[in-house]
Chain A
C-alpha cells in the first residue's frame, strides 16, 4: 500500500532522517492554527491518493497569516481527480540549491532490493531515466547481507558526491534502508533529496510503498490502510477476506471466482468478445454457501452490475452447497442475471438445485461456454 506523503514524513521523522519541519492537518481550523507552529514561508500540500496534485492546485505557498487563511480555505474546498481534499500537510518552505533523487526499491527479476541514486532529481524517476540515464546509479543490495558500507561508497564515488556531504549521505542511505527493511517496503523514495542554502542534506518529499502481505507486522499502518480506502465495496469485501477489484467505470458485468488466475482468464475472454467487466471478486479458498451469499450481495450492491458471471472450479468445493447459496441470494438481488459455471464435488446435485431458479440463472459447462452465452445476450 502506498503511504500518503505526510505518513512517509512521519516515518522519516521517527527514524531521524533529516527532513523539514511539518505537520498534518485535517480541517481548515487546524491548518490555520499552523500560523503559530510553523514559520513562514510555508508550503501547503494536499494529501490525496493520486498523481497530478501540483497541476490541480494541490500545492500552495503562504508568506503570512493572511495568505495562510486564504490558501487554507482554498485547499479544503478543492477536489483533485474526484477526490476531495481531507488532509493538508503544512511545512516550512526550504531554500535549496540542489535537487537529487534517492530510492531503495524492489527488483523483482533479480529478487533483490536496488539502491537508485541520481544527482538530478525533483522530477519523476522515469523522466530522469529517460533524460539522464548516465547519471542514474543502481546497485543491488543482497537481502541476507544488507546495505554494506562499500555499496554506499561505490555510489558516492560513481556520482561524485561532494566530500563535505558524504557523512550526511551515508547516514541518509542507512536510515532509508532501515525504514525499507523494518517496514517491509517495496519502495522507499526520497525525491527530491535536497541540499539547502545552509549546506544541509534534507528529504523534501518521500514516497513509501509497503508490502500488503507484511501489514500484519505494522498494526499502525494497517489501520491507516482502511482509512484511505475510499471504495466501500473494497472495504466490505475485505472484512470477509474477499478481494473486490474495481476494473473500470464502464460495463455491467461482474466476475466472481475462487482464484486470481481464473478471474484474470475470465476477464480476458469476456473483454475479447467486446464486453466490459466492471468489477471482480476473488473468493479465495473454501467456497461455502454462506460465503457465496455474501460475495453475491457485495457485488450486486454495485448499481452498475446487471450480470454476474460466477465461475467456481474447485476440487473439493461442494457444488450443492454453492447452489443453495445462490438460490437463497436471488430474492435480494433484483434484475440481476447470473451465469453460473460449477465444477467440483456433487456437481449433478448442485445443477439440479439450480433448476429451481428458472431463467434468473443460466448454467454453463465451462469458461468458454459461459463467455459465449454472455456474448449472445450482451455484446453489440
Chain B
C-alpha cells in the first residue's frame, strides 16, 4: 500500500484528447494505472485508448468513482481545470504544466487547502509508486521498487538519481514531483508526514534547488518530526543572482534570498545529509542502507 497513487487509485486524465494527454494516458495504462475516465470540454463521448471522455470532471468522477486526477492541460488553462477539479471534490490533483501564472497558483494553493484537496505541482513530472501505478509523464522504465522515497522540484535531477540508483540495485517507494514553478500546490513540508508514516519508505530524499524558502521550511519540520534519515541535494549553487535558471522558481533574489548556502545550512542543522551531486546522493543513500543492513 503506497500513499497517493497505487492499485486503488482511480485516475481521471484532464486534457486526455491532447497530444501529450493521449500519449501519456497510454503509457500510464501500460504501467498498470487504473485510468477510469478522461475529460476535455467539448469532446465528451469520445474514447482515447479505450478510456471514455467526458465534458466535465463531475461526470467523469461519477462514472469512474475517481479519486485522483492528472492535468495534461496547458498553463493558460490550468487554473480553470484545477478549479473545476477542486470544486468537484477530487481529493488528489496532479498538475503537469510548466509556467503557470503565479497569481493563479496563489489562489489555487489556498482554495485546495480550504477544500481539503491535495494539489501537486505545477511543473511536476507527477507521482510514481514503482511497480504499482504512476500518474504523470515520467519514463517509468528507469524506476524500480524499493524503499527510498523521493520528492523533487526537478524532473531531470530525479531521473538522474533513480537512474543511478537502479545501477546499484536501489529502488523507490514513491517519487513525487513537487514542481519547479514559483508556487507549489504542495511543497516539501506537506509531503514529509506521508513519507514519515509510509511503512515502505526507509530513507527520504529531498531534491531541491535555489529560490524560495521551501527547503528551509522542510528543514524546520525535519528537525522536529522526522525520524527517518533524510538526504538532500540542492541544485544551482553556481547560478548567478536575479536570473531564472529555467524553472520559474529557481531564482536567487538580488539580496541573496533563496541561495543554495542558506538551504544547505538549514538542512544540515536539521541533521540532513547534504549531497554534492546526484552521484554523491546515491552513494550516501547506499551507505545508509549498508549501515542499516538492508543492502
CA distance A109 to B257 in the complex (A): 12
Beyond A143-B106, A213-B248, A257-B156, 13 extra complex contacts between A and B, CB < 8 Å: A126-B255, A144-B107, A217-B101, A261-B158, A261-B207, A261-B235, A262-B154, A262-B157, A264-B209, A264-B210, A265-B156, A271-B238, A316-B139
Residues A111 and B106 in contact, CB atoms below 8 Å apart: yes
> How far, in Å, is A322 (CB) from chain B's closest CB?
15
CA distance A314 to B183 in the complex (A): 25
Stretch at the interface among A72-80, A82-90, A159-167, A242-250: A242-250
Residues B245 and A143 in contact, CB atoms below 8 Å apart: no
Residues A213 and B101 in contact, CB atoms below 8 Å apart: yes
> How far, in Å, is B162 (CB) from chain A's closest CB?
11
> How far, in Å, is B242 (CB) from chain A's closest CB?
9
CA distance A113 to B105 in the complex (A): 12
Contact with A along B153-167 (1 / 0, CB 8 A): 111111110011000
Which residues in window 230-257 of B have CB below 8 A to A?
Answer: 235-240, 243-250, 255
Residues B142 and A315 in contact, CB atoms below 8 Å apart: yes
Contacts of B157 in A (CB 8 A): 259, 261-262, 264-265
A112 within 8 A of B: yes
Contact with B103, one of A142, A211, A264, A314 (Cβ below 8 angstroms): A211
Stretch at the interface among B64-72, B87-95, B273-281: B273-281
Residues A314 and B278 in contact, CB atoms below 8 Å apart: no
What would be 5 A-B contacts, judged by CB atoms less than 8 Å apart? A111-B105, A213-B102, A214-B103, A264-B239, A366-B164
Residues of chain B having any CB pair with chain A under 8 Å: 75-76, 99-103, 105-107, 109-111, 138-142, 152-160, 163-164, 180-183, 207, 209-214, 216-217, 235-240, 243-250, 255, 258, 276-279
In this complex, the member of A144, A260, A282 whose beta carbon has the largest number of chain B beta carbons within 10 angstroms is A260
Select from chain B the residue with minimum beta-carbon distance to A186.
B102
CA distance A316 to B238 in the complex (A): 29
Contacts of A264 in B (CB 8 A): 154, 157, 209-210, 235-237, 239, 245-246, 250
A332 within 8 A of B: no
Residues A111 and B160 in contact, CB atoms below 8 Å apart: no
Contacts of A38 in B (CB 8 A): none
Contacts of A216 in B (CB 8 A): 76
Select from chain A the residue with minimum beta-carbon distance to B104.
A214
